[in-house]
Amino acid sequence: MLNRELAARTALAISIAGIALLFIATALDSPKEIILGEISQELVGKQVRTKALVQWTSLSSGILLFGLYDGNTVKVVKFNPSPEEKAIVSKGLFVSVSGVVQDYKGEIEIVAERIEKYG
């Protein structure tokens, strides 16, 4: 009887520890939320999330380019955008973008992984 109780308590403790570790890993893995003015060379290769106004757009050969503006401007690149993403990215609308900061030919940009309507 004592062995079953010990096994049950051990299993419960391990389960709780596993859930806690998953929570911590998820919190550490989520993109850093930033404003555009914080984007710099130091963030190249890092995941970020930002919200801003779409200032301009261009779609060509399966590549969606657009500028975000919140007092600062950053170019965003989305490869093979979905029809929903194409519809969301429109001049004058606010969007939330998650992606990786990249230096392309000396210019800092975000390579978008996810684009959502904001507001």
**CATH code, domain with 107:** 2.40.50.140
Cα–Cα dist 16/90, whole Å:
45
Full residue range of the structural domain in which residue 91 is found: 32-117
- Is the domain of 100 the same as that of 45? yes
How far apart are alpha carbons 33 and 15 in whole angstroms?
31
How many domains does the chain fold into? 2
Examine the domain organization and report whether 56 and 111 are in the same domain.
yes
Residue 69 sits in the same domain as residue 48: yes
- At 61-112, the pLDDT tens digits run 899 999 999 999 999 999 999 999 999 999 999 999 999 999 999 999 999 9
What is the model's pTM?
A: 0.74
